[in-house]
Amino acid sequence: MVVQVETGMERDVRGARLFSLLAMASALGMYLLLQGIAWMRAGGVFEYPLDDVYIHLAMAEEIARGGYGVNAGEYASADSSLLYPLLLAPFAGTSLHRYLPIFWNVIGLLGAAFMWGRILWRAGYGEGALRPLGLILAFTGPLVLNMAGVAFTGMEHSLHAFLVLVALYGLQTFLDSGRIPPWLVVGLMLGVMLRYEGLGVSFAIALVIALKGRWRAGLALFAASLLPLIAFGFFLHALGLEPVPNSVMSKLADLSEVHMPLAARMARAVLRNMARVQGMSFLILVLAFALSLLWPRMWRAWNGRYWPFALALVIVGAGHLMFGKFGYMNRYEQYVLLFGYGAALCAIRPILAELIAGGPERSIWRKVGGLIMPAFVVWTGASIGQYYIPVVLQDVTLAPSQIHRQQGQMARFQREYVKGPVAVNDLGWVSYRNDDYVLDLWGLASLEALKIRLREDVPEGWAGPLVKERGVKLVMIYDKWLHDAIGPEWVYLGTLGFDEKTHYLGDETVDFYAPDAASAPALGAALEAFAPTMPEGAYFRFADGRRVEGAAKASAAAGEEAGAGKEGSDG
């Protein structure tokens, strides 16, 4: 009889695998639940909860054709991500293309969950008395930190979160062994290529490496992270564009803040983020670790395993609180929450181990740190989870239905009835699978419109000349966004809307305008024919006050309506 003895390495592999499988199971289970709820609430229609997904897809279409933008022959940097539209370029022009964001988000979701489990295992949560706590953290972490809710959006944030956790795992490896693993370099470089916020993570990790005595390596690592963005800036400049994408400039230059001093804008951003539950909770976590770093006698007690993670958490967290934002489907904070709580759990692991193990009498600093820091991590994490889970289940799963009844119908009206250039201020579905020109009055795909909109002295009716120059046949905008842009010659036709409150669209209603009096009668007739074909729950209120309800029943194929026009014309 042969008895096989399991080695320590084999136990480590099995334990790490269990942690990752638990995290992946909870993340994927929640993701499938969200998709199922959204599909039922939309009446059997698949749709993304954000119209922004279609900006990425429209950019990918143009890249596949050899251009860069959303309109053929016109360069524009409408996308805030360098890498994501490139990942979406395969299958452009086919029915599979629309679903490619699902593939990449599932990859990002499973990858982030896998790394979450590995980070916990490497930190030591699989050892001895900490193992039950580690298993709980592995399973609940993806739920509390909203991994599935972010993947559900279809945007690039899940892939970015995955790469940020790869970088954190690389930092763990460096602190354990003194070597810089290749996946740390890859994670930082690709993370920056997906989201500009990745620079904060790169800076924090590079600084920790430098402070550990590897100055050249730290500088080289941060320089390597900058290279893709520098190259991208030169690429955009060569196309005649600004070196930073329009969408990034638009986000950084909010109308209410664009002319304020930098310090005032940073303070205002912190106050705005504090107004949200998740923002306030994370601010408390960052402040707790920042204050702990001011007492070296406390954090030195844990053999140098505390301060590198605590410092990285404070740098990345403070940077996001001052320059980033929380909210709007909770996707912008995903990377910083995963990095922050991953680093926090790595930092407090020696503290927890000592608390559980007991041992000799401890100094007051060890007692204070041993009790307070884990309490801050648990308390703030629980607050964030209590916010995310009900919001995602209740509000976010309603968004696909609203996108279908608003943005999807705008796109369908343009393709099937207008069949010509249009102007919008919420770029997305209308620009995807559309060979006609789309003028973006918000400025993501139009640098000219963005520069006018961000001026101190914005002229009244400024969109009128732009609409006329480009031969626009129909204008569809949120009036409350661009009330000062409405041209004096435009004719109000009516409003597309639905009666539910929306949390993630620009407004419950979109106003339709003819660019001049001559085109109003034909557009009015087209709207008379279109309105009854809208799905149930949507309505169109005409300029004379009449309200026509959408009467079309939802079907499994309804989600393809808005994209059918281009495929038909290509044939």
Query: What per-residue confidence (pLDDT) applies to 313?
Result: 97
State both tokens at 416.
């099937």
Torsion, Cα 133 139 143 144, to 10 degrees, reads 10
Query: What per-residue confidence (pLDDT) applies to 556?
Result: 40
How far is Cα 524 from Cα 548, in angstroms, rounded to an integer?
13
Q: Which helix (DSSP H) or strand (DSSP E) does residue 491 occupy?
A: strand 491-498
Angle at 262 between CA 257 and CA 265, to 5 degrees: 40
Pairing of strands 474-477, 491-498: unpaired
Distance of CA 478 to the CA centre of its chain: 23
Classify residue 73 by burial, with Cβ atoms within 10 Å: 0-12, 13-18, 19+.
exposed
Pairing of strands 509-514, 547-549: unpaired
Q: Report which residue type is found at 211.
A: L
Pairing of strands 474-477, 509-514: antiparallel
Query: What per-residue confidence (pLDDT) applies to 299?
Result: 63
Confirm if 50 and 154 have CB atoms less than 8 A apart: yes
How far is Cα 503 from Cα 403, in angstroms, rounded to an integer?
11
Q: Using DSSP, how many helices (H) and how many strands (E) does the chain show?
A: 23, 7
Confirm if 173 and 181 have CB atoms less than 8 A apart: yes
Break the chain into its structural domains and give their ranges.
Answer: 10-398, 406-570
Q: What is the arrangement of strands in the sheet containing 538-542, beginning at the earlier edge strand?
A: 438-440, 422-424, 474-477, 509-514, 491-498, 538-542, 547-549
Q: At what angle do helices 100-123 and 8-41 cross, to 10 degrees?
A: 140
Name the pTM for this structure: 0.91
Query: What per-residue confidence (pLDDT) applies to 298?
Result: 63
Task: Give whole-number Cα distances, 123 to 41, 311, 452, 550, in Å.
Answer: 41, 17, 51, 56
3-state secondary structure of 47: coil
**DSSP conformation letters of 383-452:** HHHHHHHHHHHHTGGGHHHHHHHTHHHHHHHIIIII-S-EEESS-SGGGTT--S-EEETTSSS-HHHHHH
Distance of CA 418 to the CA centre of its chain: 32
Low-confidence ranges of the chain (pLDDT < 50): 1-9, 255-256, 555-559, 561-562, 565-571
